[in-house]
Structure formats: C-alpha cells, structure tokens
Amino acid sequence: MFEPLTRRLEFFSDALQLRAHRQQVLASNIANADTPGFVARDFDFRQAMDSVRSRGPELRAGAMPVLTGGNAQHLRTSAALADVPDRNRVQYSVQTQPSLDGNTVDLDQQRANFIHNAVQYESTLRFINGHVRTMLSAIQGQ
C-alpha cells in the first residue's frame, strides 16, 4: 500500500544523492583549476541515474536502513548508492582549453556546470518537500 507513495520519493532521493556527488566532483575540478597536470573529471548524471533506477530492488534489499530495526523495506541511505558503478566511475573531461602545465580544467565551463547542478539540486529538494507535504496532507485528511 505504501510502495506507490514512496516510489516517487525514492526516485528524488536517488537524484538528490547523485546531484550531491556530482557537486563534489565539480567543486574538486574548480578547486584544482591551478594545479599543474590536474585532469578535470565528471560523470554522466543520466547514465548514473538509469543505473540506480535499474538496480533499485537490489539496492533496497541490501541497504543499511535509516530506521533502527533492520527492516529491508526502510528507505535507502547514501551508502546504498556507493555500490552503483556509474557513481564511482568518474570519467575524465575532454580538454577544451590547451594548457602548458597539463591542467584540463576549463574554469568557465566548470562554474557553469556547478551552477546548473546546484539549480537542479535545489529543484529536487523542492520536489521532495512538496511530495512530503502532499503525503502529510493525505495522511491527516486535509
């Protein structure tokens, strides 16, 4: 009965965790913009999300539960997404600006990616908040 109610919440939770991970990767690129020989990294968010969604039941069964008691039907944690190969398979970015020191970070592109990802992260949070409010209204009968 509760599975249809939580399925959408799980989707947004997965997206939020992957967005947070991508934000860390992009922040690392920006932080190393002046590091000689640093190669910019990123991952395909859509491919990683597809991988998470296709492996959903397996992750749910083996996930460490958020609530105490060890019930496999509880919500997944970020530890559950650590097993997703696409999340850990960070690829090197294609160099767009040649650099004498071997650094491949295009600072303008990385900043644009960072801001775009931050906006997507914020919108995912808003969707989660709206979904939770809707579920609470339905439970309370309002």
Would you write out the chain's pLDDT as a tens digit for each of its 142 residues? 567 767 878 888 899 999 999 999 999 999 999 999 899 999 888 888 888 878 755 444 333 333 333 444 444 444 445 544 444 567 777 777 668 888 889 999 999 999 999 999 999 999 999 988 988 888 888 6
**pTM of the predicted structure, to 2 decimals:** 0.71
3-state secondary structure at position 59: helix
Beta strand residue intervals within the chain, DSSP E: 41-42, 91-92
- What is the spatial distance between Cα 31 and Cα 93, in angstroms, rounded to a whole number? 15
- Give 94's Cβ-side CA count (13 Å radius): 1
- What is the spatial distance between Cα 89 and Cα 21, in angstroms, rounded to a whole number? 12
Domain count, the chain: 1
Domain that holds residue 73: 3-140
Q: Specify the pLDDT at position 89.
A: 65
Closest by Cα among 1, 52, 2 to 22:
52
3-state secondary structure at position 89: coil
Query: What letter would DSSP give residue 42?
Result: E
- What is the spatial distance between Cα 26 and Cα 28, in angstroms, rounded to a whole number? 5
- What is the spatial distance between Cα 20 and Cα 62, in angstroms, rounded to a whole number? 22
Q: Is residue 120 a contact partner of residue 18, using CB atoms and an 8 Å limit?
A: no
